[in-house]
Amino acid sequence: MYTVATSVTLAVKRATRRVPIVFYVGTDPQAVGLIESYRKPGGRFTGIHSGFTDLTGKRLEILKEIMPKLRRVVTFHDPGNPSAQRSMKIVRDAAQRLKVGLVERPVTSVDELRASLRALKPTDVDALFSVSDAMVQSQLDLIVEVAIAKGLPTMLQEESGVVKGGLASYGVNFYAIGQLGARQVQRILQGASPADMPVEQLDRLKLVINVKTARSLGLTVPAAVLARADQVIE
């Protein structure tokens, strides 16, 4: 099996006993009990780790660079998700350091998320900020749609949301992750044991900015930020 996201991989671990698993996780797989070590996982799990969750603070820093007058951001997360818990701790620390107010909206289901998005008032916050949470990320299209309708800038994790009208994203290249994962799956199908296959770590990051969205929101993205962007959507 191939799994994406820490919470999904942990759920698959609980639901299965023998099937080999190749994962992509953004949280330390050793810390959450998926593997014994990166070099020698020691069980039926191996895969790719990107440190995705640890990028949460840097993501807020970039948003603050784009919006120097940023005062308050809202974030949605499932308090029962281990990745979300770590991501929230990081963003709380970053928000305090950057003097940005953090409006936390805990949600435990897609229905709760949708209701909380509908209830969000544009005057309550200056932007919408994403943390590591697979359930919330599964509703990325809705999040971008609501943000556009309410005139709120978004700092996202996935570039697909920026292509659809989000303001910016900073994270890993999921195409590269798919390539690495496919190679690991192929090795297992050819007889390799995941217990002996080192977990690969991906450190290639991608900053995407939608200048068209910025203009529609009355924002001017600083030249220094644009110069660092891997992709600029006009």
Domain CATH number, residue 47: 3.40.50.2300
One domain for residues 41 and 155: no
Run of H or E including 140: helix 140-150
Tokens of 71: 């005062």
Strands (E) in 123-223, as ranges, are 127-129, 154-156, 168-172, 200-201, 205-210
One domain for residues 81 and 142: yes
C-alpha of 145 from chain center: 18
DSSP letters, 25-56, are ESS-TTTTTS-S-SS---SSEEEEE--TGGGH
Q: Specify the pLDDT at position 155.
A: 97
Vertex 178: Cα angle to 174 and 181 (nearest 5)? 135
One domain for residues 83 and 95: yes
Q: Specify the pLDDT at position 93.
A: 96
Q: Specify the pLDDT at position 79.
A: 94
Beta-ladder partners of 171: 206
Q: Specify the pLDDT at position 53.
A: 77
Strands ordered across the beta sheet of 127-129 = 101-106, 72-77, 127-129, 154-156, 168-172, 205-210, 231-233
One domain for residues 163 and 188: no
Q: What average pLDDT values come out for the chain (234 residues) when binned by 10 residues? A: 93 95 93 95 95 86 97 96 91 97 97 96 95 92 96 94 96 86 96 96 88 96 96 95
Counted domains in the chain: 2
Host domain of residue 11: 2-52+172-205
Tokens of 88: 């929230």
One domain for residues 136 and 157: yes
- pTM for the full predicted model: 0.83
Q: Specify the pLDDT at position 231.
A: 95
One domain for residues 91 and 187: no
One domain for residues 157 and 44: no
CA-CA distance, 219 to 160, in Å (whole number)?
21
One domain for residues 114 and 227: yes
One domain for residues 83 and 97: yes
One domain for residues 140 and 211: yes
Q: Specify the pLDDT at position 197.
A: 97
One domain for residues 137 and 111: yes
CA-CA distance, 166 to 180, in Å (whole number)?
27
One domain for residues 151 and 40: no
